[in-house]
Amino acid sequence: MTQLPRIVIVGAGFAGINAVKTLARCQAQVCLIDCNPYHSFIPLLYQVATGQLHPEQIGYPLGQLAQQYKNLEYRRGRVQGIDLDQKIVELERDAIAYDYLILATGAQAQFLGVSGAENHTFPLKTLEDAIALQQQILGCFTEAALTRNTEHSQHQLSFIIVGGGTTGVEMAGAIADLTENINKKFNTRLSPRIFLIHSQGQLLGEFSSELGEYTCKKLRRLGVKVHLDTKVQRVEDQQVHLDDGTILEGATIIWTAGVEANIPDLNHDFDTSLKGKIQVEPTLQIPGYPHAYAVGDLAYFEQGNRPLPGVAPTALQQGQTAAANIKRHLQGQAPQAFHYEDKGRAAIISRKIGLVQAPNLTLKGWVGWLLWLGIHWCYLPGWRNRLSVLQAWLRHTVFYRPAVLPRLKTISTEVKE
């Protein structure tokens, strides 16, 4: 019996999962490797971090995915390195040989050389990060409600967010929403200080300047203190030093200022360009290794002389193209060049305020918010997750009840001096 060719996909993010779907029913064994037993729906991490959702609502079990596709095997493990010459993927205690490889390990937080940032801030890139942040944020609200020391309470309720891209904006708005939920539910008057620090003159730089200004106005109306054109010089324990000499103090510092490619050790030094990414061929192949593809956040690809954005649609489309090209190899055909179809972008500012900017469409306010919810809901994998997220969104929007709240009632009797 002839052995089927083995395609190894490293990383079960947007790119990896779409590659799996494209390779369903093809004449090959597909092996999907990820260090986690679930796919994380990253755009909703901020909702987990602020208690709007439970972590399991945005994690899709990979074992369940493997049951859907007969030719798919899921292996849990962290890939340490890849020998591109020998075509071997090295795990901690194992090694897997491949005929074709799709490398899709995404990105990790980038601290831009800012001293202290890595040690004293909370990044938001993985589900574990979101869980840690949720515990921190809810813990701070609890502590603030417990104490009679106004200074301590204010310190606990000072949140400093570094980075005014989509994640920073969404976090700032969601902490304001969380405060509203808590005050309504527990009849408190907690009033956090939310700082949003951005190095550019416009929030959400990938959107039009009009939408950037709109976002800034809406956040300021929610009480967020937006600092534009401001760089963080260094971070210390619960302190952020800005380049204009200001020192901000707060119990929670959230880092959303950037990401860089997250690539396991490769036995080859590539000409990695921007943010450590691998500059791929037009077909998404790794230069010099026609059997290996790099896709999603770790691949550098230009279209029309501009690098593609590190967003989910890029990863989804690249995962699909790489898989389709491997199918072409199997049929003896040449791989085809990748072409990105820009479907636009969307962001949420806070409850009932969102933005959508597509090639022929700009929406803001509650219509933009509804469309944002609709798009993300459709892309969320698994019907169980979709139904439970829909229910949570309804509760949050209509009844101001997120999935998780601090347990203020139970502690209201034990007050610290």
Ligand X SMILES: Cc1cc2nc3c(=O)[nH]c(=O)nc-3n(C[C@H](O)[C@H](O)[C@H](O)COP(=O)(O)OP(=O)(O)OC[C@H]3O[C@@H](n4cnc5c(N)ncnc54)[C@H](O)[C@@H]3O)c2cc1C
Contact footprint for ligand X (CB under 6 A): 10-16, 33-36, 42-43, 45-46, 78-79, 104-107, 124-125, 166-167, 262, 264, 296-297, 310-313, 315
Q: Which residue, 236 or 281, has its beta carbon nearer to ligand X? A: 281
Q: Which helix (H) or strand (E) holds 398?
A: helix 383-399
SS3 152: helix
The closest residue (CB) to ligand X is 13
CA distance 363 to 345: 11
Q: Which residue, 88 or 152, has its beta carbon nearer to ligand X? A: 88
Per-residue exposure over 257-281, b if at least 16 CB sit within 10 Å of its own CB, e if not:
bbbbbbbbebeeebebeebbbbbbb
Residues 209, 202: contact at Cβ < 8 Å? yes
Nearest to 317 by CA among 369, 272, 379: 379
Greatest extent of the chain over all pairs of C-alpha atoms, in Å: 77
Backbone φ and ψ for 76, nearest 5 degrees, come out as -85, 130
CA distance 205 to 247: 25
CA distance 18 to 22: 6
Q: How far is the CB of 300 from ligand X (least distance, A)?
A: 12
Q: How far is the CB of 109 from ligand X (least distance, A)?
A: 8
CA quadruple 249, 252, 258, 264: dihedral sign: positive
Q: How far is the CB of 197 from ligand X (least distance, A)?
A: 17
Q: Which residue, 11 or 335, has its beta carbon nearer to ligand X? A: 11
Which residues, at least 6 apart from 49, have a Cβ–Cβ distance to it below 8 Å? 124, 129, 130, 133, 134, 137, 171, 174
Q: How far is the CB of 207 from ligand X (least distance, A)?
A: 12
Q: How far is the CB of 184 from ligand X (least distance, A)?
A: 27
Q: How far is the CB of 148 from ligand X (least distance, A)?
A: 36
Q: Which residue, 206 or 281, has its beta carbon nearer to ligand X? A: 206
Q: Which residue, 7 or 312, has its beta carbon nearer to ligand X? A: 312
CA quadruple 369, 371, 376, 377: dihedral sign: positive
CA distance 134 to 152: 20
Q: Which residue, 11 or 61, has its beta carbon nearer to ligand X? A: 11
Q: How far is the CB of 257 from ligand X (least distance, A)?
A: 11
Beta-sheet strand order (sheet of 285-286): 72-76, 29-34, 6-10, 100-103, 289-294, 285-286
Q: How far is the CB of 407 from ligand X (least distance, A)?
A: 26
Q: How far is the CB of 404 from ligand X (least distance, A)?
A: 18
Residue with tokens 């971070």: 235
Q: Which residue, 63 or 191, has its beta carbon nearer to ligand X? A: 63
Nearest to 164 by CA among 265, 90, 257: 257
Q: Which residue, 26 or 347, has its beta carbon nearer to ligand X? A: 347
Side-chain-facing half-sphere of 14: CA atoms under 13 Å: 21
Q: Which residue, 43 or 116, has its beta carbon nearer to ligand X? A: 43
Q: Which residue, 128 or 213, has its beta carbon nearer to ligand X? A: 128
Residue with tokens 């801030």: 121
Q: How far is the CB of 127 from ligand X (least distance, A)?
A: 9
Q: Which residue, 143 or 260, has its beta carbon nearer to ligand X? A: 260
Q: How far is the CB of 150 from ligand X (least distance, A)?
A: 33
